[in-house]
Amino acid sequence: MVGGAIMTPWLILAVAGAYFGALCTIAWWTGRNADAAGYFRGNRQSRWYVVAFGLIGDSLSGVTYISVPGKVAVDHFSYFQMVLGYVLGYVLIAEVLIPMYYRLNLTSIYGFLGSRFGPVAQKTGASFFLLSRLLGAAARLYLAANVFQHFVFDALGVPFFVTVLGIIVLMLAYTLKGGIQSLVWTDFFQSLFLVLGVVLSLGIIGRDLGLGIFEMGERVWSSELSQVFNWDWRSKGYFWKQFLSGAAITLVMTGLDQNNMQKSLSCPTPGHAKKNLYTFALVQVPVNLFFLALGVLLYGYARERGVTLPEISDQLFPELALHHLGTMAAVVFILGLTAATFNSADSVLTTLTTSFCFDFLGLEGRTDLTDAQKGQRRHWVHFGFAMALLWVILAFRAAGKMPVIDLVMGLATYTYGPLLGLFALGLATRIRVGGAWVPVVCVTAPLACWILARHSKDWLGGYVFGTELLLLNAVLTAFGLVVLARSRSEAKA
């Protein structure tokens, strides 16, 4: 044990409190004069490099910070196959989606579905985004809240409900007014601490093991856990499944996701937004490698020091950082986790509010409401989603012990598939389809995928679906909409 001192719950709270104080100061300064245009679009004045760096924390979040190192023992470096696919996904977003979003001057990107297929399709696409992001943000926030509860609030006798409520109240405190105008800068600040968290953690554990930079690299490279490529086509970790799924997941979880696109669309021009995405695509590769390498070193440390591994892999990093690596490691971990916690969830409240206000309430075109009335409704929607987030987190708490990164990716395959099918059909064809049957098709496709995934071993000779189920979900959605369009055309004839 290095340094002897282990952080007490009160010291952990002090570190998190100091961090939050800095965050609120930044949010107040950047959002003090924010109006509706600043809340929704950042007045289209965001600097592309600030947005790019801020996306690191929003994309990686607490899931990567805690779950990726912990899962190295089971999945080795196979996650990196998906990271390589992410790069292809960002290229597609930059070259296909960004120019189109700017050309249509969209605030909510689901306005594209409205222009192509009508208001029902727009509301259907927005509904899947609201569901996807609400569940995904809740899963990420649940992971971080669980760590704080286990290592801090249980010792103070504070129930989990109060812990989560406190976190959400803190997020409301600095997101309610400034919106995207504030989030661009607070995300930059939080991404800085998240990256510092993993880099400093690598340095601390390397020092404790008596390893220099090159020696750490050699140990990671020579470890049996650092195997990247899987060529068993029946496996979930098969390279082409992971690579193509990574591209598809990036396409939907960034390019078709209001949460990430709203920040990119706050840049002045499409060229600036593209620079933001290309920069982020390149930066995220080494950052993800750092997290995977950290997992190898954490397991190596536990083995050499005789530390009993926790039952849940998500608890490996917090257990070692807070109980075995000393005070400095604990401070670094808490700062990184706090950054990941707020970065992954705070922007979601703003973008869920944006989508609901534009896609369901139609606030942008409401001439019967004053600006003050629109602002009041926006605040109520913002508050409503905060409460929804609270209850979904409590539901996850009661649900089970699955590693959260598996949960997030699993949810994405079902909830983002219909979005990908709708956008692909709208961009690649001239088919016109609308009406009440659109949501029926978009619900039926993921249901069919769920049934197939449960029985694929028996029905498909041992084949196990992974995240490529997202692609199948999109194909079934698009196919169903094509059949619907042709049926309606034949009926008219």
In the chain, domain spans: 9-401
Q: Which amino acid is at 125?
A: G
pLDDT for res 57:
62
Residue 449's closest CA among 413, 416, 425? 413
| 410 against 441, higher pLDDT | 441
Measured between alpha carbons, how far is residue 136 from residues 57, 395, 412 in Å?
Answer: 15, 13, 8
The answer to whether residue 150 scores a pLDDT higher than 90 is: no
SS (H, E, C) 303-348: HHHCCCCCCCHHHHHHHHHHHCCCHHHHHHHHHHHHHHHHHHHHHH
Distance CA 25, CA 33 (A): 14
Going by pLDDT thresholds of 50, 70 and 90, the confidence category of residue 401 is low
Residues 12-67 have pLDDT tens digits of: 778 777 877 777 777 667 665 555 555 555 555 667 667 766 666 666 666 667 77
Going by pLDDT thresholds of 50, 70 and 90, the confidence category of residue 3 is very low
Mean pLDDT of 167-188: 70
pLDDT for res 172:
79
Distance CA 334, CA 475 (A): 42
Mean pLDDT of 343-366: 77
Q: Which long-range contacts (CB under 8 A, 24 or more apart) does 142-146 make?
A: 142/393, 142/396, 142/397, 142/404, 143/62, 143/63, 143/66, 143/67, 143/314, 143/404, 144/62, 144/66, 144/337, 144/338, 144/340, 144/341, 144/344, 145/341, 145/393, 146/314, 146/397
| Two structure tokens written together for 86 | 């992410």
CB contact at 8 A, 478 and 250: no
pLDDT for res 39:
54
Residue 145's closest CA among 125, 168, 127, 122? 168
CATH 3.40.109.10 assigned to 9-401: no
Model pTM? 0.73
The answer to whether residue 270 scores a pLDDT higher than 70 is: yes
Mean pLDDT of 410-417: 81
Mean pLDDT of 346-353: 76
| 344 against 248, higher pLDDT | 248
CB contact at 8 A, 69 and 298: yes
Distance CA 42, CA 24 (A): 18
Distance CA 112, CA 115 (A): 5
| Two structure tokens written together for 295 | 């997992």
The answer to whether residue 460 scores a pLDDT higher than 60 is: yes
The answer to whether residue 163 scores a pLDDT higher than 70 is: yes
The answer to whether residue 5 scores a pLDDT higher than 80 is: no
Query: What φ, ψ does residue 201 adopt, rounded to 5°?
Result: -65, -40
Q: Which amino acid is at 178?
A: G
The answer to whether residue 477 scores a pLDDT higher than 90 is: yes
* Percent of the chain with pLDDT strictly greater than 90: 10
CB contact at 8 A, 34 and 179: yes
Going by pLDDT thresholds of 50, 70 and 90, the confidence category of residue 1 is very low
Q: Which element (helix H / strand E) includes 163?
A: helix 160-175
pLDDT for res 4:
42
| Two structure tokens written together for 214 | 């090159």
Other beta carbons within 10 Å of 327: 15
pLDDT for res 492:
55
Distance CA 341, CA 343 (A): 6
Distance CA 48, CA 51 (A): 5
CB contact at 8 A, 131 and 334: no
Residues near 222 by beta carbon (within 8 Å), at least 6 away in sequence: none
Distance CA 467, CA 488 (A): 33
Measured between alpha carbons, how far is residue 198 from residues 69, 140, 345, 360 in Å?
Answer: 10, 18, 20, 40
